[in-house]
Structures are given as C-alpha cells and as structure tokens.
Chains A and B, each alone.
Chain A
Amino acid sequence: MFKEMGQLKIDFPLIIISDEGYLKYCSESAGELLFIPNINGLVGQKIDAHQHCSSDFSKEVIELVEKARTDQTPYNSELRKGDMVFLVSVAPVVEGKKPSGISVILNNITEYRTKETESALLYHISSTMSSTLPPKEISEKILWQIVQVMNLSGGNIMLVDPPSQILFVETTTSPNRMRPLRLKLGQGIAGWVAKTGQPLAIPHTKKEKRYVLASKNEDKSLLSVPLITKGQILGVLNLWKPAGEYFAESQVQTFSIIASRIADVIETNRQRIVGEKRLELAQILNSTPDLQPIVEKAIVKVTEILGNVPCSIYTWTDLNYLDSLASTHHCYVGGRKHEMRMSSAKVKHLIDETGSPILLNNWKNSGWVKSLMHKHGEGWNNTIASGLISKGELFGLLFIHYAAATELGRDTLNLISAISSQLAMTLENSQLYTDVARERDILETIHRTTGEGLILLDVRGEIIFYNQAVKELLGMKKDILGEGLDSILSEPDKYCRYMFIPQIDMSDSIRRSATEGRAFTMTLNTCEKPFRVIKGRLEPIKDQHSGGALLTLRNFTEIEDLNNKMATRVEQLTDLFKISNLTGASHLKTIDRVIKYLPKLLQAEGSVFLQITDGELIPLARSNWRTYNKLILADSKIAQLSVTKKRPQVIKSGEIDKNDQVLPRKTDSILTVPLVEGGACTGIIAVRNKLQGKRFNKDDVKLISIAGDKVQSLMKSLKLMGNIGREKDRLSVLIESSAEGIFAVDNDGSISLWNEAMSRLTGYSTEEAMGKAANKFLLTGRDNLGLIDLINSSRKMNQQKGSLYEIELHTKSRNKRWVGIHFAIPLSNREGETEMIILLNDISRYKELEQKKNEFISMTAHELRTPLTAIKGYMSMIIQGDAGPLNEKQDRYFGRVYSSVERLVGLVEDLLNVVRIEEKRMVFNIKPAPLQNLAKEVMFDFKQKALQKGIALDFKTNNQLKNVLVLMDSDRTKQILSNLVDNAIKYTHRNGKISIKLYKDGKGKYVVTEVEDNGVGIPPSQIENVFDKNYRVNNPLSNQAGGYGLGLYITRSLVEQQNGEIWVKSAEGRGSIFSFSVPINNK
C-alpha cells in the first residue's frame, strides 16, 4: 500500500508511523506543519511527544496517533494551529492481515471554515438529515445536494454488507451510467478507503484509470471518503469531477465531515430498524399459541435483524441429539451422529459455563466443532452458537453463520444474546419445551389426586415413569423402569406377584397407540387366587414433540362382583373426575360437573351438594333441585338425619316431612351421603326420586359413596388452598401495614423480610435492605454492636424467646432511634434453616417523655431536699433541747413531726433511686465479701426499731457459710436487707416475730437470704405484683405503715443488678417470706 502511495507522488501532509511507533515516512508539508525540527532526520526513530514536539499542535497530533495505535481505530479530530484549523485523520493501516502502522493526514480546513458555499451545503445537509424522510431517501438527497451545490459531475454512496463484507452501491446520481458494482474490502479505491478509513483523492491520470469508478469513456477525478461513525466504517462516499478538475485539500475535509454525518444517519437508522424488527419479532412470538409457524416467522425476523445472515434454531430432544426447528437460507448444522452428540454436548457445556454466545470459529480446528459447522458454501464458516436458556436450563441453540471476514463486535454478540433470550422465553412459554420431567410433574400431580396407577411410555413402548400405585396394583416384584410394556404383558410372572394371564397380543396395540394416536383398553386378570382384576386404558400423548403413551391402571377386583353396568357407571364417574383433573378444571368446576352428572348416573330426578358451614347449608352445586340459597341446618330434618348418621342412607317417603326446606316439592325418596372430615360433617350430597318409580339400591349407595369421597377430597384441598392463600394474604397485609417495624433474618444473618415500617424507622428502603447482612447496617448504640449479634448474645444469656428490651439503633441518616425489640421465635423452614423474626417498636417519643419525667422527678426531689434538710435539722435541734427544754407533750409532738420528716426524706430518696435505676446511673461496686457479717450489721441497726414494736428479731446462719464470700456491692446489699427487714417490721403486728436465715442454694451457686415474718401477709391475687413500681399491698396495716410502693421495686432492681434473684412466699394473715440470692464467689 505504501508503495502505491509513493507512486502517486502526492504531496499532502502525510505521516506514516510504524506499528511499533517509529516514524516511517513524513511528507515535506507535514514536516512543516508539525514544526518538528529536522523531522526527516527522525525517520526510523520513535517520536516522543515531549521530547520532539515544540508546539501543542504537534503534541496533540502525536497523542492522537498513539490513541489510534492502541485502539487500532481510525480517528478524525479537528486541531487548531494558530489561526488555522486542521482536520487530523489518523488510521491504522493493515497490510496483509497484520497491522503495519498508522497513517496520519493533516488537512488544512481553515478555508472550509470560511467558505460560504460549503457552510450553506452543510446547512442544507443538516436540515435534510433532520427531516422525517426514509433514510435511503435522505442519503440520496444529501448526495444530490452535494453534487449540485459543489458543482460536481456525480457521486455515489457505497455501504458495507456486514455478513459478506462486500461493498455495494446504496445510492448513486447516475444510475444509468453505472454498472452494478460490488467490491470486496480492500479492492479498488473505494475498497481501500472502506478498509483503512482514510479519505483518498485521485486526480485523473491515465495511470489510475483502473481505479476510476466510471465507464471507460468518461475520465474523472475521484474523491473517496469513508463513512465512519463510532469507530466503525459503514461504507464510502464517492464523488467525482470532470477530468481536469481536482479535489482541493479543504474539500476533502469538508466531505470527510459530511461523510461522518451521513454515517451517523445511517447508523442511527440501522439501530432504529433493528429496534423495529425486534418489536416485530416480539409481536410474532406473542401472536399465536401454534408454535411451528411462530418459530418459522421468528427466524426470518432474526435474520433481518442481524443483517440477512443465515440462522437456524435447534433444540435438544433428548440429552444428546439436536433437532432443527427452523432455519433460513436452507442452512443447517449437522454431522455424523456420534460427532453431533459429542460436539453438541461440548457446546452445551461451554454455554452453560459462560452464559454468552460463543464463536465456534475459535474451535474451528478442534474436530468436534467441525461437525456443527454449517456446510453451506465456502465463505460462511464464521458460526456463532447462542444458547436458548429457560429457567437456568439450556435447551436449545441459535446458530448464526457469518462470512469468514466479518468482524463481530461486542454489540453484535449482545444483540444475539438478547434475541436468544427473547426466543427462549417464548419457546418455553409455548410448551415446546415439554420434556419428560415436566410430564412427570403433571403425572405426579394427577397421581396425588386420583391414586390410580399411572405408567408413562415413550414412543417405543418403554416405561419411562410409573407411580407408587402401579407397584401395589400389579404386585411388582422388581423395578420396571426402562422395560417394554409388551414384555411385561407377555411375561407378567417375571415382574408381578399376581399370576396375571399373559396378554401377548397387546404389544401391537401399544405400538399403534403410540404411532397412530389411538386409545386402547386392557384388562389384566388372574385365573386363580388371589383374584385380581386390573383394568387399564392406554392413551397416546398427543404431543408432537415427545410422543409416547399414558397407561392408567385401576383396580377392579372389588367392584368386579357388581354387575357390568355398575362397573361402567363407576368407571364413568371416575373418568369424570379424571377428565376434569386432566383438563385442569378447577376443583369447584369438577364438583359441579359430578353433581350434575349424578342424576344421569343413578337414574334419578335431581341432585344437590350442600356445604355445611357454621350450622348453615349452602348449595354449591345442584341439578334439578330447587332450594333456598342459604338454609339453617336445624331447619331441615333430612339434613340433620344425614349428618347424625354419618353414612349414606336412603330416606323413604314415609320419613320425609313435606315442608322440609331443603327438599324440592314432590320429593318421594332421597339418597344422601354426608361428607365427614375429622368426625365433623362438612357437607351433604343428595339425589332424589329414582326414575320410573324404582327405589334406590345398593349400587346407588356405592356410587354416591364414591362420589362423596371424591368430592370430599376435592373440598379438602380446596379449603386448604383457600386457607393458606387467605392466611398468606392476611399476613402479608398485616406485616406491610404494621406500625411496628418487622424484619426477618435467615441463618447467615441476611435480611429476608423488611416491611414498610422498618423503612420508615431506619431510613433503608426494602430494596436496600433485602439480602444485606443485618449486622453490617443495623448497628446499636451499645458500642456499635450489630443488632443481630446483640440479640443472639442476649438470647444465649437469657435463653428466652421473645424477650423485650430497649435499645438505641443507628438510622441511615446517622441519627439514633430508641426501639423496643421483640425478637420472635426462630422459625425453621423445610430446609432446616432458621429464620428469626424481629419486631421493632419506635419508642423514641416514649423514651423522650420518660427522660423528661425522670428529669422532672430528679429535679423536684433535689429541690425538696433543701427545705426538708432545714425542717429536719431544726426539728432535731429542738428535740435535743438546743432551743431550751421541752415539756412532755411538746417532746411527743415534735417527735411525730420529726419521724414524718424522716419518712419524707426516705420517699425523696426512693424517688431518686428509681430514676437512677431507670437511667442506669446507679454505680455498683461488686467485690467478694462475707454476707453474714453484713446481715448481722443490719440486724443490729434495726434492733431498736423492732424493740419499740415488741418484735423479736432472730438471726440464723450455718457453718456452711463460714468463709463463704459472695459477689456483691456491700452498700447496695445492705440497702436490700434493710428494705426487707424494715418492711417486715412495718407489716408485722406488735409482739410479732421476724427471723433472718442465710443458706446455700441447692446447687451451691448462691447464698440465699430469707426474711420471714408472721405479719399481715400478701393476698394471693396481689403477690405477683409486689415487686412492681407503684404497687402497695392493699391492707389495713399498710395504710398505717405508710411506704409508697417504691421500696420493693428498688430492692428487686438492686438484687437483679447484682445478678441475683428475689422472690416471695406469703399466706394472707399469716406472714411472708422474702428471699433473695447473691452469687457465691467461686474464684
């Protein structure tokens, strides 16, 4: 190529740089423009933007070259050099198949910028481009505008056909004078331009005649500019002038710019067409349930979208074989069977792994893929296989065959991938993809509802599935999977325990059933004991894809003794259920059909099915039976009779009350069967008036029983479904609308449920929260510990489910919210995973109020202390005689005042303690210490007080406790004991007795202190509440004794804070025993 360039001897600013970045050629004018000193001296050297380039312009040019070199993509860029504007076109040059360097063309477009005619042209072109004309007309119009405005002799636009990589004429100004022209890339001037992306202007000379795109008679100057958009060369704009005129440099630039605009229009349009075609494809795919036409139409659309390339769709019929569904261009993939099996399995594996389309070319030489390659002509061996994946399973392939030279970009692969999933979805939805597994699903469902023996045969009559009932019906000795049905029928004793009479002639029927689609019935019976009659019905599966047949087996041994007529009737009834089930009718519909069919079956006048709900009768289905829509069970004697008897019965005319509301008029006899579930009657089926004056007989009873059983089971599943559905609905509404934040975490701590209130509470939306690890974003105010960690640790400690406590939680906006936590019972699902449900209550407001209340109490209490101090102080001074001696009365009165003040001080102290406890401000100084000494101290302190009331204080401890230390805060424990002893004194009558006892508990982990009195005791109804805040036992003595109920609440808190427990036993009128435990120091 470079040689050719040299021969052309064109001096325009051209630089060629080798692929390694060495300067190969630099024209004189280019050197001048770049202003790199001694540039020709640099040939063979690497040009460094910083070292060699003195101007910004040259630096920018070199940078652009680097960009083109690394991207291997052509670039056009307008760069300024002083007052001048240059269009710098850089493009990778490919020689042979290897990139051989970068060509740079510098074009002065200053002139263009100023030229009015060209601006006008551009203006015209822009307005044309924005018009709503069809794209082909737009390019044609632009072409004409260029030719006319610029006074050219003609021109054309050639485009590259993506699949074949051939240039063809899209539009031309001189259609008559042009021969149809197709060029391969790289062929001729247009081919070279389309390949390299470089514009080329050729002045007319004899020598270049062979390049000129004109008839032989007419010589022209040619300009060929590439149509480039988004780095992609779409084609070439060719323009020509009469011989003797030349394309100026500036014009080359103008047309380059115009060309890129045209390219934009073409590309946008192509995208739009692809979009439209995909829409059409979607419409086709949704149009009709009939598959084959869809697939055939769809594949045509796919071909159009991808640019008229041959395509084909294949699916796996079984594990190994690919089956063609549709194709275009008569293309196919294929090969010898064993090769096909191998290669299709490998392609499957590859697509399964990557999930994206694969280019089979990459494995062209690996033998196994050769067999998959399309064999339709030489140049078409660039094949892409794209997976048709549904529900994560690969079930088919879309093959696309491109021409060998086609460059397939990411965009194309993505498009193919998208189309494949579009196809896959439809194919799956339209039940084309009905494999054995799915049939098995259906059969298993049928099996569950009917309990009949079911055998699924493939086209060859081999058993591919059978259910549990078959084993029992045939008395199977061994597995019959994979066996031929005919061999079982001809040698039943080999497979079955029962001695069935062989049915050799059945094999032909089976084959015909499978191939001709006919149904056959058969009977298997034994000739000796145990007697067994099995009836079977062989029905072909009318599925063009998988074929085969379904054999339904029923045990007729028991009903064989009924007459043939009866057997047929039972069969009819059972069939009715079966047919309804197979056709997918709803349970209610099936029940309706059966009830309507009953009169015919029993030869009676009418029938009804009444559902019993809460003592009401609701007719759910009826035939020739007029009755009210709602009846009270108690109003109908007939209904009551059948309900109480709980089995089928015939009620004769003598027993019928003519006014019975359930019964239509002129009912002489009826047959009823109650539906009994769990001992309760849930409904009644009734049939009335046997025709021709006959009576209901045994057979009728049997039939109606069968119908009853079936209806019963249908109702049961109906109820179950209804209940589950309703419960689910209720629950989800409840959860969503709950004001409490509700969320759930699974085993690994990630969120599996998140309601609206949680979003409000935390600021995290459901989308943000679901699936996230809860501990990562639900952080508590306790050392930023994760909420779930905290719950789990407290669960371990308390081993309590659902315990409630309060904590601060960080929200998304980094605020803190107080929440009450109620973590619910861990639920185990079927897989044994544990899910914990957590309820959060926003208690911030309540906490705020509580804090205010506490502050208020605290402040008031402190304020009270000062005046109390003064009263108490002066009073003590008066009593001591500091203000002079007191007479006896004064002394007594002031003594009363003093003790009242003492009580007030105590009350204020209690209030302050409660606040301290609630705000967790109480400091505990827990150290090992002997409890018995402390108890003795307390005893001593209260001796005087007890003595005043004539109460005996008794103290008991045992030797066990010698040297035993407990873990306690001595001051607090003293407070506990004092409170208990003080209470005991308060609530014990004069001359009573109080004893204090210390002992080790059964396990030796705690020291228990018992304070026993023989006082008023606590009524049983109130004993639970004695440790609550604001609680005071309501009894006469307590009114005298005073105390405001805070004492025991504080005492309990103090005990619990020291890891102990407190409890009480009491008998009203006889006294109480308060006990508390303190842990023993084991170290």
Chain B
Amino acid sequence: MNNTVLLVEDDRMLAEMYEEKLSMEGYKVIQAEDGKIALKKAKKQPNVILLDIMMPGLNGFEVLKELKQDMETTSIPVIVLTNVGSESADSDQDLALSLGAECYLVKSYHTPDEVVSKINTILNRTK
C-alpha cells in the first residue's frame, strides 16, 4: 500500500513540484493550501505531513501545535518545509522542533529529491 503524504503548501508552483516528485516516488499526495484545510485533511491519517510555515490564515506553527495536541493526529510525523529562517541554530527551527516537528528543512537549500529521501528516512524510522 502506498504511503500518503499531506502536503501543506500555499504556493501553487511549489505544491505542484513537490506533488509531482512525490507521486513519481510512489507516494500518494493529499494537498492542502492553508492551515485550516490541513487540519481537516490530517484526520485522514496521512503517513507524514510536509508543513509550510508562512501561510494565509493559520500559520504553520499554529497548525503544528494543534496537530500535536489532537490525539488523532499527534503521532503523525511532521516535517516543517519552509523558506522562513535558517536551518542552523535559529529560533524558528527551535520553535518548530519544540512543538514536535521531526525536522526543519529550508526549501531553497534542498532539492525535491533530498526532501523525498528525508521522508523515506523518517518513515523507515517510525515503522
């Protein structure tokens, strides 16, 4: 059975790019373009959530907080994938990790391929 990824991303082009790559790698992709939809779709129990931070409405941190507080979604691993902040010792990263994110990736640093391999690593670990 294919693993499901919830891709929370408001930028159409980036969403499309990650979706294409993930499907190519055999993942089933559910998309959400803002925080509210993300929370709703998380109930469908995806295997992993890719979460953007800067979004209209609820921002990524708020979504993350709610996901982790909700018993239904708390165990789903979340990868924060954003263009805010920096990966090395930054307050944004600290915040994301303290809220329960598995890791914090800056989009512009990583190719879609690298993102997929990160997802693979995390899913292998949680299995």
Contacts and interface: CB of A to CB of B under 8 A. Distances in A.
Interface of A: 862, 865-866, 868-870, 872-874, 876-877, 880, 882, 905, 908-909, 912-913, 916, 921-925, 969, 971-972, 974-975
Given A866-B14, A882-B24, A873 B91 contact: no
A882 B14 contact: no
A877 B112 contact: yes
Contact of B83 (A866, A913, A974): A866
B89 A923 contact: yes
User: Which of B20, B54, B88, B90 has most chain A Cβ within 10 Å?
Assistant: B88
19 contacts: A866-B83, A866-B107, A870-B14, A872-B108, A873-B14, A873-B18, A874-B17, A876-B112, A876-B113, A877-B20, A877-B112, A877-B113, A882-B20, A882-B24, A905-B109, A909-B86, A912-B86, A913-B86, A921-B91
A971 B113 contact: no
A865 B113 CA distance: 18
B71 to A, nearest CB: 32
A292 to B, nearest CB: 87
Interface string B55-67: 0000000000000
Given A862-B83, A873-B18, A974-B88, 13 more contacts: A865-B106, A865-B108, A869-B83, A870-B17, A874-B17, A877-B17, A877-B111, A877-B112, A882-B21, A908-B108, A916-B86, A922-B89, A923-B94
B84 interface: yes
A879 to B, nearest CB: 9
Contacts of A971: 88-89
Contacts of B113: 876-877, 880
B79 to A, nearest CB: 15
A869 B108 CA distance: 4
Contacts of A921: 91
B88 A869 contact: no
Contacts of A909: 86, 108
Contacts of B24: 882
Contacts of B109: 905
Interface in B1-31: 11, 13-14, 17-18, 20-21, 24
Question: What does DSSP make chain A's interface, helix, strand, loop or mixed?
Answer: helix
B33 to A, nearest CB: 14
Nearest to B88: A971
Contacts of A916: 86, 90
A880 B24 CA distance: 12
Contact of A923 (B90, B108, B112): B90
A100 to B, nearest CB: 85
Nearest to B85: A912
A865 B82 CA distance: 10
B98 to A, nearest CB: 13
Contacts of B14: 866, 869-870, 873
B88 A905 contact: no
Contacts of B18: 873
B111 A873 contact: yes
Interface residues of B, number: 24
A924 B89 contact: yes
Interface of B: 11, 13-14, 17-18, 20-21, 24, 54, 83-84, 86, 88-91, 94, 106-109, 111-113
A866 B107 CA distance: 8
A438 to B, nearest CB: 73
Given A862-B83, A866-B14, A905 B108 contact: yes
Contact of B89 (A873, A877, A925): A925
Nearest to B90: A923
A154 B84 CA distance: 105
B112 A873 contact: yes
Contacts of A868: 108
A891 to B, nearest CB: 16
B17 A873 contact: yes
Contacts of B17: 870, 873-874, 877
Nearest to A898: B111
A922 B93 CA distance: 12
A874 B111 CA distance: 8
Contacts of A874: 17
Contacts of B21: 873, 877, 882
A967 to B, nearest CB: 15
User: Which of B18, B84, B88, B108 has most chain A Cβ within 10 Å?
Assistant: B108
Contacts of A869: 14, 83, 107-108
Contacts of A974: 88
B89 A969 contact: yes
A909 B85 CA distance: 9
Contacts of B54: 862
Contacts of B112: 873, 876-877
Given A877-B113, A880-B113, A905-B109, A870 B13 contact: yes
Contacts of A880: 113
Contact of A975 (B20, B88, B111): B88
Given A873-B14, A882-B24, A865 B89 contact: no
Contacts of A975: 88
A923 B91 CA distance: 7
A908 B112 CA distance: 19
A876 B17 CA distance: 11
CB-based closest 9 A-B pairs: A876-B111, A971-B88, A865-B83, A869-B107, A865-B108, A869-B108, A873-B112, A873-B17, A905-B108
A921 B90 CA distance: 8
Nearest to A875: B111
A880 B20 CA distance: 14
A7 B69 CA distance: 103
User: Which of B11, B89, B106 has most chain A Cβ within 10 Å?
Assistant: B89
A626 to B, nearest CB: 86
Given A862-B84, A866-B83, A877-B21, A872 B91 contact: no
B61 to A, nearest CB: 16
Contacts of A908: 108
B97 to A, nearest CB: 12
User: Which of A862, A924, A974, A975 has most chain B Cβ within 10 Å?
Assistant: A862
Contacts of B107: 865-866, 869
A684 to B, nearest CB: 77
A873 B88 CA distance: 21
A905 B109 CA distance: 7
A972 B108 contact: no
A496 B115 CA distance: 107
Contacts of A925: 89
B88 A972 contact: yes
Contacts of B83: 862, 865-866, 869
A861 to B, nearest CB: 9
A363 to B, nearest CB: 79
B40 to A, nearest CB: 25
A789 to B, nearest CB: 29
Contacts of B94: 923
Contacts of B86: 909, 912-913, 916
A978 B114 CA distance: 21
Contacts of B111: 872-873, 876-877
A876 B108 CA distance: 12
Nearest to A908: B108
Contacts of A924: 89
Contacts of A923: 89-91, 94
A442 B102 CA distance: 90
A872 B84 CA distance: 17
A873 B9 CA distance: 15
Contacts of B84: 862
Contacts of A876: 111-113
A448 B13 CA distance: 93
A392 B21 CA distance: 94
A877 to B, nearest CB: 6
A868 B14 CA distance: 10
A269 B18 CA distance: 102
B34 to A, nearest CB: 16
A919 to B, nearest CB: 12
A38 to B, nearest CB: 84
